[in-house]
């Protein structure tokens, strides 16, 4: 158990809809990262937050947005969903040591 | 542009054999090189990591070899076991917020 929690575990929705994925980092970790992993694909970095502020942006679509709240939990919002957005979405957190600890992921299925 | 190139894409090894996965990078600013192990349906988990001030790090059956001049690093799994069958990702990081993953290697250790 990495100490990072993600909800929900599974999400099934329709094209055009909007969903919110939630992540709680390990206790004390200020950084939160979001990744997308499509079937049999590598990890695509989406975005990083540090203590509530956006720190780095990767290949995140304009339809996607994220935020980190004062209690350090983070949410990833995906809107106008397309079939191709079906994937595993991982959240990771890190502290001063730099090591990233991954949550169990949210499996999103867009029908 | 892919910051970290990983090979091979897949690997089949007999039980007891040595598994070798290679990664190469271009950006000399990288200062932290972790390897992650991911089982199906789970989040990646940190396996072993190295910083560029050492050329090798060993933890049990897992060894990272690091060649700074060649900008390459590799993971060696000695005495490979069926339980090691998983996808392995190398990564490279600098500034605690520039984190890049390789494309992954699917390892299958045959009994």
Closest Cβ–Cβ partner in B45, B49, B98 for A56: B98
Residues constituting chain A: 111
pLDDT at B4 over 80: yes
By C-alpha distance, the chain B residue nearest A91 is B43
Number of A:B CB contacts under 8 A?
51
Tell me what pLDDT residue A26 has.
96
- Phi, psi (rounded to 5 degrees) for A58: -110, -135
User: How much is the average pLDDT of B59-88?
Assistant: 96
User: How much is the average pLDDT of A37-43?
Assistant: 80
User: How much is the average pLDDT of A33-43?
Assistant: 86
In whole angstroms, what is the distance from residue A16 CA to residue B97 CA? 32
pLDDT at A13 over 90: yes
Tell me what pLDDT residue A51 has.
94
Closest Cβ–Cβ partner in B42, B89, B97 for A42: B89
In chain B, what is the straight-line distance between the N-terminal and C-terminal CA atoms, in Å?
38
Tell me what pLDDT residue B99 has.
79
pLDDT at B96 over 90: no
Tell me what pLDDT residue B93 has.
87
Average pLDDT of chain A is 93
Q: Contacts by B42-46 with C-beta closer than 8 Å and gap 24+?
A: B42/A104, B42/A105, B43/A2, B43/A4, B43/A90, B43/A92, B43/A102, B43/A103, B43/A104, B43/A105, B44/A43, B44/A90, B44/A102, B44/B89, B45/A2, B45/A102, B46/A99, B46/A100, B46/A101
How do beta strands A53-57 and A44-50 pair? antiparallel
Residues constituting chain B: 111
pLDDT bin (cut points 50, 70, 90) of residue B97 is low
What percent of chain A is predicted at pLDDT more than 70? 99
pLDDT at A16 over 90: yes
Kindly report, residue by residue over A54-85, the tens digit of the pLDDT.
Answer: 998 888 999 999 999 999 999 999 999 999 99
List the one residue out of B67, B2, B34 whose CA is nearest residue A98: B34
pLDDT bin (cut points 50, 70, 90) of residue A40 is low
CB contact under 8 A, B43 and A100: no
pLDDT at A11 over 70: yes
Kindly report, residue by residue over B23-70, the tens digit of the pLDDT.
Answer: 999 999 999 999 999 998 889 999 999 998 999 999 999 999 999 999
User: How much is the average pLDDT of A93-106?
Assistant: 88
pLDDT at A97 over 90: no
In whole angstroms, what is the distance from residue B68 CA to residue B66 CA? 6
CB contact under 8 A, A48 and B103: no
pLDDT bin (cut points 50, 70, 90) of residue B73 is very high
Residue A14 burial by Cβ neighbours in a 10 Å radius (0-12, 13-18, 19+): exposed
């Amino acid at each position: 158990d990495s100490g990072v929690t993600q909800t929900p575990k599974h999400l099934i929705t329709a094209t055009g809809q909007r969903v919110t994925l939630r992540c709680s980092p390990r206790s004390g970790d200020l950084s939160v990262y979001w990744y997308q992993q499509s079937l049999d694909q590598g990890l695509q970095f989406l975005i990083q937050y540090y203590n509530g502020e956006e720190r780095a942006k990767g290949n995140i679509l304009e339809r996607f947005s994220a935020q980190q709240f004062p209690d350090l939990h983070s949410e990833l919002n995906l809107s106008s969903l397309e079939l191709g957005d079906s994937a595993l979405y991982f959240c990771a957190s890190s502290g001063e040591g730099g090591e990233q600890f991954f949550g169990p992921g949210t499996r999103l299925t867009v029908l | 542009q892919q910051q970290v190139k990983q090979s091979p894409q897949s690997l089949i090894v007999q039980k007891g054999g040595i598994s070798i996965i290679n990664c190469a990078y271009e950006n000399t600013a990288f200062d932290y090189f972790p390897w992650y192990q991911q089982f199906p349906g789970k989040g990646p988990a940190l396996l072993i990591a190295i910083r560029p001030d050492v050329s090798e790090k060993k933890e049990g059956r897992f060894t990272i070899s690091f060649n700074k001049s060649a900008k390459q690093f590799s993971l060696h799994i000695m005495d490979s076991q069926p339980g090691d069958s998983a996808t392995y990702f190398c990564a490279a990081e600098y500034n605690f917020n520039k984190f890049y993953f390789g494309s992954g290697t699917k390892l299958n250790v045959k009994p």
